[in-house]
Amino acid sequence: MTRPHAPWLPAAMMVASALMATLEAVFLRELGSRASQAQVLLFRSGAQLLLVALSATLLLRSAALVVRTNRLRTHLWRGGLAAVSWWCYFMSFKSLPLALATTLTFSAQLFVILLVWPILRERVTMAQLLATLVGFAGVLVAAGIWDPSTLDWRVSYGFASAFLGAVMILITRSLSFTERSETILFYMALVVFVSAIPQAMLDWPPLDAALVGWLSLMGLSGTLGAWWMVEAYRRAQASALAPYVYTRLVFAAALGTWIFGDVIAPSTVAGALLIVGSNLALFWYLGRTRAATQ
């Protein structure tokens, strides 16, 4: 008989995940251009591989359970998408203010709604479509797309990462029915790690102890953030965790201002409010609809 977890634990895990994801971006900004994208990808994926190996040793007692799969082609396809998505994601956080780059990441959930029918043939309700349109309006406001004179083309990194991330979410949903979480995380990190090796051979700036430290902290925080998010969703429904997901915006705004002196543009605040508001309103509406039909 499994011991029930404390009701506050999933929420605490989601907040901790949001903090770790923000710290990953902080460490990435500290690295700046002193480390190449290949080095960032190697350390980030390497940390995930080490955590999966540690989990297999301590929890599963067998590495074979992690490697075993009948869906290798799907894992490799998802890993290839992750390699491109992570590259764009890290470029976004290297070049944009933390609050803006973080706001752009939430467009992944909006892309999921648009892609869920053509990919998984799942029905999309009018409420979901309306919330998605409002959310996308928030993304466009935050990015400042209405004013070409002030538009920063580097927001395209965030959009590309979010779109590919949405496709990965849908593939992960399919994999989760047959695969362990450790297996999904292992193959994704393995493909990213291998794909970064040729890049590293072409671009490998020298690393001193300080850079290795920043890269290690970046890899560890990002991996812990991803792991805690998976564990939070394993213990609670997405609708219950939705309010805590957006604590990442608070962490990004606070740390970006405090550490880097980022100035949060009014458009970023307005866009974030539209995105968060539309998603929370959708979760509230769907929860009320389900309760009424029971």
> Which residues, at least 6 apart from 113, have a Cβ–Cβ distance to it below 8 Å?
124, 128, 129, 131, 132
Q: How confident is the model at residue 185 (pLDDT cuts 50, 70, 90)?
A: confident
Asked if the model's pLDDT at residue 90 lies above 80, the reply is yes
The whole-number pLDDT of residue 184 equals: 85
> Which residues, at least 6 apart from 118, have a Cβ–Cβ distance to it below 8 Å?
none
> Quick one: CA torsion of 159, 39, 78, 74, rounded to 10 degrees?
170
Mean pLDDT score, 247-257: 90
Q: How confident is the model at residue 41 (pLDDT cuts 50, 70, 90)?
A: very high
**pLDDT, tens only, 258-290:** 998 888 888 888 888 888 888 788 777 766 776
Q: How confident is the model at residue 153 (pLDDT cuts 50, 70, 90)?
A: confident
* Per-chain mean pLDDT for the chain: 84
**CA-CA distance, 274 to 272, in Å (whole number)?**
5
- Sign of the dihedral through C-alpha 58, 61, 62, 68: negative
208: helix, strand or coil = coil
Q: Where are the domains of the chain?
A: 10-293
For 197, the token pair is 């090796």
The whole-number pLDDT of residue 47 equals: 93
Burial class (CB in 10 A: 0-12, 13-18, 19+), 37: middle
**pLDDT, tens only, 118-148:** 776 667 778 778 888 888 888 888 887 766 6
Q: Which residue has the tokens 């290690």?
A: 216
The whole-number pLDDT of residue 271 equals: 87
The whole-number pLDDT of residue 5 equals: 57
The whole-number pLDDT of residue 142 equals: 84
Asked if the model's pLDDT at residue 23 lies above 60, the reply is yes
**pLDDT, tens only, 197-235:** 999 999 899 999 999 999 999 999 999 998 888 788 777
Mean pLDDT score, 178-195: 88
The mean-pLDDT minimum among 11-25, 149-163, 279-293 falls in 279-293
Angle, helices 209-235/9-31, rounded to nearest 10 degrees = 160
